[in-house]
Amino acid sequence: MNKIKIEAENVNFYYGKTKALSGIDLKIYEKKVLALIGPSGCGKSTFLRCLNRMNDLIDGTRVEGKILLDGEDVYDKNVDVVKLRMRVGMVFQKSNPFPKTIFENVAYGLRVNGTKDKKILQEKVEQSLKQAAIWDEVKDRLHTSALSLSGGQQQRICIARALAISPEIILMDEPASALDPISTEKIEYLIHELKNLYTIVIVTHNMQQAARVSDFTAFFYVGELVEVDLTGTIFTNPTKKQTEDYITGKFG
């Protein structure tokens, strides 16, 4: 069995008085893809955003329990959120490039973390764009605005941007939900390539996508983790009735 990269222990999460997650226990294995599925509002995105503490930005939220990254609780008082987020990168649902050039988008994470050397920046940007399988499409216009690209290209720029700071884990929040089938296929192919180097957690509404890209699948329902197992098992032989109903399309 692979090494455990992240381990959630009895995680509860509150938006004000509303409990959004209760008692989540989940192990995330290194260099594997974990898909989080479940109907809207089930807490899968909330859980994802706990892993890099993006929920800290929302006033009135509260977390209980532990989320251990290589054995270290990310919610510990001594944790530097900036360092955490450099190790746990994120790709969002809506492609959200900065209104800057393609180059500056990818270099952003390096720049804010103090990299000034132009050569290193250039190498890293090229390497990240290649990893995100978009280098060939943009190499001649690195200094044009990232907003001039198509939605699918923008999303791959966002992936390259996340890769540039060499994270260990990449969180993806429905990264292909706003994209056409061809762009989606590219992103999925990318996930296949990236899992050799990174641990990936992906939230998706698209069950076929979960089946195609992931090694493990976790099914969330009304703030609880119903079941987690190998993707093959979840989709062919789930132990819980709720999981079966959801994946067969009986509800949700």
Rank residues 14 and 108 by Cβ distance to another protein and give the closer one: 108
CB of 214 to another protein, least distance (A): 21
Q: Which of 1, 40, 59, 116 binds another protein (CB under 8 A)?
A: 59
Work out whether 158 is an interface residue with another protein (CB under 8 A). yes
Work out whether 78 is an interface residue with another protein (CB under 8 A). no
What is d(CA 22, CA 194) in angstroms, rounded to the nearest whole number? 31
Tell me how far the alpha carbon of residue 108 is from its chain's centroid.
19
Please work out, in degrees rounded to the nearest 5, the angle formed at the alpha carbon of residue 171 by the alpha carbons of 165 and 175: 105
Work out whether 92 is an interface residue with another protein (CB under 8 A). yes
Token output for 122? 């250039």
Contact window for another protein (CB under 8 A) among 15-23, 49-57, 194-202, 244-252: 49-57
Give residues with Cβ within 8 angstroms of 137, minimum separation 6: 153
Q: Which of 11, 69, 165, 210 binds another protein (CB under 8 A)?
A: 165
Work out whether 82 is an interface residue with another protein (CB under 8 A). yes
Q: Which of 11, 50, 69, 90 binds another protein (CB under 8 A)?
A: 90
CB of 86 to another protein, least distance (A): 4
CB of 133 to another protein, least distance (A): 20
Q: Which of 147, 197, 222, 230 binds another protein (CB under 8 A)?
A: 147
Tell me how far the alpha carbon of residue 127 is from its chain's centroid.
20
Residues in region 105-144 near another protein by CB under 8 A: 108-109, 112-113
Work out whether 86 is an interface residue with another protein (CB under 8 A). yes
Which residue type occupies 127?
A: Q
What is d(CA 206, CA 195) in angstroms, rounded to the nearest whole number? 19
Q: Note the residues at the interface with another protein (CB under 8 A).
A: 52, 54, 57, 59, 82-83, 85-86, 89-90, 92, 94, 96-99, 108-109, 112-113, 147, 158, 161-162, 165
